[in-house]
Amino acid sequence: MAIHYASDAAAAAAVHASLPGEGHVVVHGDLRNADAVREMVDSAAASLGGIDVLINNAGVFYSHPIQSATYEQWQQAWTDTLGVNLIGAANATWCALQHMPRSGGSRIVNVGSRGAFRGEPDSPAYGASKAAIVAFGQSIAKALAPEGIAVTTLAPGFVETDMAKDHLTGDSGREIRGQSPFNRVAAPHELADAIVFLASAEAEWASGAVLDFNGASYLRI
């Protein structure tokens, strides 16, 4: 397994140390930089002897309400958010495909968001990037199926992560947890379990699908 990080080397090292077995690697790269993405993926593939599964899980979220953000803040938020959440994921996918066997069984799992469907008024770039990753996943699911590569998208709500920590404290946290009839948000291991299934051989026929994973906090038809 290859663990990618952008800035938190200590966290990546901790994940690496927690993995069973040997042969795991840590790779670094800014997903906004196309050359860095290619170098990162090629390095991972060289260390692992190829790539069978790609999980596009990297994401950033910046507050930039259209009513209050300056034009400079607005532009930067769109550039950074799309650069990581969409273009970075698309570039990582292209690069990983160069190392995937075409004999069947490879998997690509994109991590989207319920924000793709419900809207994100405080972070429109985030909502747009996650809507686009859904469309991207469905497009390449059709393109890659003849080569035995299945592509799916997981669309979670809030998860107990460092990125969401500020939102999940105090009154804001209580309101967010109350959006789900379970009165909680997801634990990271629950997403991991879902991703393991989507990356498995049993999930091939789900290719092109989007799995809502938000504890009934947002429902759509």
CATH of the domain at 58: 3.40.50.720
The answer, yes or no, to whether residue 102 has pLDDT greater than 90, is no
Task: Say if 203 falls within a structural domain.
Answer: yes
Its pTM stands at 0.94
In a domain, 3, yes or no: no
Instruction: Give yes or no for residue 41 having a pLDDT over 90.
Output: yes
* pLDDT at 163 > cutoff 90: no
Distance CA 145, CA 143 (A): 6
Domain holding 191, by residue range, is 51-213
C-alpha to C-alpha distance for 158 and 172, rounded to whole angstroms: 12
Please check the confidence at residue 162 and state whether its pLDDT lies above 90: no
Main-chain phi, psi angles of 32, to 5 degrees: -80, -10
H helix or E strand, kind and range, residue 34: helix 34-48
Which tokens belong to 219?
Answer: 């429902």
Is 99:50 a contact under the CB 8 Å cutoff?
A: yes
Check residue 64 and give its pLDDT: 98
The pair of three-digit structure tokens given for residue 142, joined into one six-digit string: 């059709």
The reply to whether 19 falls in a domain is no
- What residues are paired with 211 via a beta bridge? 154
Task: Tell me which DSSP letter residue 186 carries.
Answer: B
Residue 155 lies in a domain: yes
How many domains does the chain divide into? 1
Mean pLDDT score, 16-28: 95
pLDDT digits (tens, 9 = 90+) for 106-136: 999 999 999 999 999 999 999 999 999 999 9
Q: What pLDDT sits at residue 26?
A: 97
Of all residues in the chain, what percent carry a pLDDT higher than 90? Answer: 96
Overall average pLDDT of the 159-179 stretch:
93
Arithmetic mean of pLDDT, 66-88: 98
Residue 165 lies in a domain: yes
Domain presence at residue 37: no
The single residue of 5, 62, 71, 126 carrying the catalytic annotation is: 126
**Reported confidence tier of residue 139, pLDDT bands at 50, 70, 90:** very high
Q: Is residue 220 part of a domain?
A: no
Task: Give a yes or no: residue 8 inside a domain.
Answer: no
What was the pLDDT predicted at 54? Answer: 98
126 catalytic per annotation:
yes
Nearest Cα to 205, choosing from 216, 197, 194, 213? 197
Segment 53-64 shows an average pLDDT of 96
pLDDT band at 200; cut points 50, 70, 90: very high
Q: Is the pLDDT of residue 99 over 90?
A: yes
